[in-house]
Structure formats: structure tokens, C-alpha cells
Amino acid sequence: MSQLNATIADPASVDAAIENRFCVRAFLRDKPVPRQMLERLLELASRAPSGTNMQPWKVYVLEGAARDALCAKVCQAHDSVLQHPELETRYRADYDYYPRQWVDPYLARRRQNGWSLYGLLGIAKGDKDKMHQQQQRNFQWFDAPVGLMFTVDRVMGSGSLLDYGMFLQNLMVAARAHGLHTCPQAAWNGYASIVLPHIGATAEEMLVTSIALGYADETAPVNTFHTPREPVASFTHWVK
């Protein structure tokens, strides 16, 4: 059957894979993801559309020793910034993921998100050590056995980041369909100067983001954190 005639026999499953994707922040460290499964997920992700079919994605898969070594390097750098804040300028992301100037409603949503997560974890406002420890969990991929790094050639336009988003969402939704969970992580971006040489990326590539991938720890309280969405009417204009 051609793609044109294919009917999606079970649309509820597609909806469910989308609706049940959320950020898992505690994974089962010792439950590996089979290589075949990883390849299948990446194949599905690559069905994403991209301008003139440029397919700008470049994926680096880290497991085992390569994974652990990068975690150790970045955790150490992150700790050093806590002790010597002047070092922060040494670590810069390749592009602005967040706005330079925070305005509402985005600022309010960001705060609500952050404080809800920290509240669930028992982290009080101003408890810098605990906040640091939680941030540090990012650089352990929340114990996920698979850490994915995504780069794009610096020569590409900002539209390629749009294409990339579609690739990443495909990957995360497909992961749910196969019983896996994910957490996209821009936290790594600031440490591109450590990440890129470690993964063997060339100087022509920039770090787009990272994703933690694995099986969720169903006993971890952090994985009960679910985020709200604005209703369709609040972001949709029916133009007359």
C-alpha cells in the first residue's frame, strides 16, 4: 500500500504516544536499550520533513564508558562554576535557546514550571546547593543509559533548527510507542566546548541539544511531575 492510501488503523495509539510523552528525570541506569531499537527510533525520527529535504541532523549516541566519561567531565566543569562563578564565561552555548530578555507570559510560565518541579523535589527557594545538585542530574542524563547529542553544521540557516525540532519530536514520540521515555536537555548546550571534542564532532558543527533516553524509574517521585498546557483558544486566532 502506498503512503497516499495508507489509513492509520489506530489513531488513538498515535494520540496516546503524543499525550504520554513527557520529561522523565529518573531512568533505570542498568536497563539498556537494544541497539536495534535505537536504530529503529532514529530511522523513524529521520522521516521528519526538512526544507528541501536537507536532513540537517547529526546524531551522536553515547553509552557505557563514552557516556560516563562525558558525564564526569561536564559534572566537574559544572561544579567548578559553582565554586568559581567567574568561570561561567568560559562555558557558552553556541546559540540562544532561551530569550535574552524574559517577558511575560513566558517568564511566568517558566517560573511556575521551575518552582513546581523544585517543590516536588523539596527544594526551597534560595537553596543553591540542592538546586545545583538537581542541575547536576542533567549532566548524568538523569541516569539514562543512553545519552544522545545532536549537532548541526554551523553553515545552516536557523530554519534547520525548525527541521531539527520535528526530528527530535518524532524520536521522542516513537520512543513512547516502544515503551521508552526521554528528556530533551538544553542544559548541556553551555558545555559545548567540552561536549563537541568528546563526541568527535568537527569545528563546523554546533551543539543543538541533548536527549536522555531509556526506561523510566516508575518509583521515582520526580517522574510524577506533569506539566499543564494553555487551552487551544488562548493561542489560536481564527482569522476572519
Ligand X SMILES: Cc1cc2nc3c(=O)[nH]c(=O)nc-3n(C[C@H](O)[C@H](O)[C@H](O)COP(=O)(O)O)c2cc1C
- What is the smallest separation between the CB atom of 186 and ligand X, expressed in angstroms? 4
Comparison of 133 and 227: residue with beta carbon closer to ligand X: 227
* Residue 75 contacts ligand X per CB under 6 A: no
Cα distance between residue 39 and residue 171, in whole Å: 11
Comparison of 13 and 112: residue with beta carbon closer to ligand X: 112
Task: Supply the DSSP symbol for 32.
Answer: P
Chain-centroid distance, C-alpha 192: 15
Nearest to 184 by CA among 87, 53, 45: 45
* Residue 113 contacts ligand X per CB under 6 A: yes
DSSP string of 42-57, one letter each residue: HHHHTTS--GGG----
Helix (H, G, I), strand (E, B), or coil: what is residue 150? strand
- What is the smallest separation between the CB atom of 5 and ligand X, expressed in angstroms? 34
Binds ligand X (CB under 6 A): choice among 13, 76, 112, 227 = 227
* Residue 59 contacts ligand X per CB under 6 A: no
Looking at the chain, the number of H-run helices and the number of E-run strands are 8, 4
Stretch that binds ligand X, among 5-13, 81-89, 145-153, 177-185 (CB under 6 A): 177-185
Comparison of 22 and 91: residue with beta carbon closer to ligand X: 22
* Residue 23 contacts ligand X per CB under 6 A: yes
- What is the smallest separation between the CB atom of 82 and ligand X, expressed in angstroms? 17
* Residue 32 contacts ligand X per CB under 6 A: no
Q: Which residue is nearest to ligand X (CB)?
A: 187
CB 211: neighbour CB atoms within 10 A? 21
In the block, residue with C-alpha cell 564565561? 89
Cα–Cα distance list, 203 to 9, 49, 94, 167, 235 (Å): 45, 26, 12, 23, 39
The three three-digit cell numbers of residue 81, written as one number? 562554576
Q: Which x/- pattern, by CB under 6 A, does the window 115-144 give for ligand X? A: -----------------------x------
* Residue 185 contacts ligand X per CB under 6 A: yes
* Residue 186 contacts ligand X per CB under 6 A: yes
Comparison of 226 and 240: residue with beta carbon closer to ligand X: 226
- Contact predicate 139/187, CB 8 Å: yes
- What residues line the site for ligand X (CB under 6 A)? 22-23, 25, 113, 138, 183-187, 209, 227
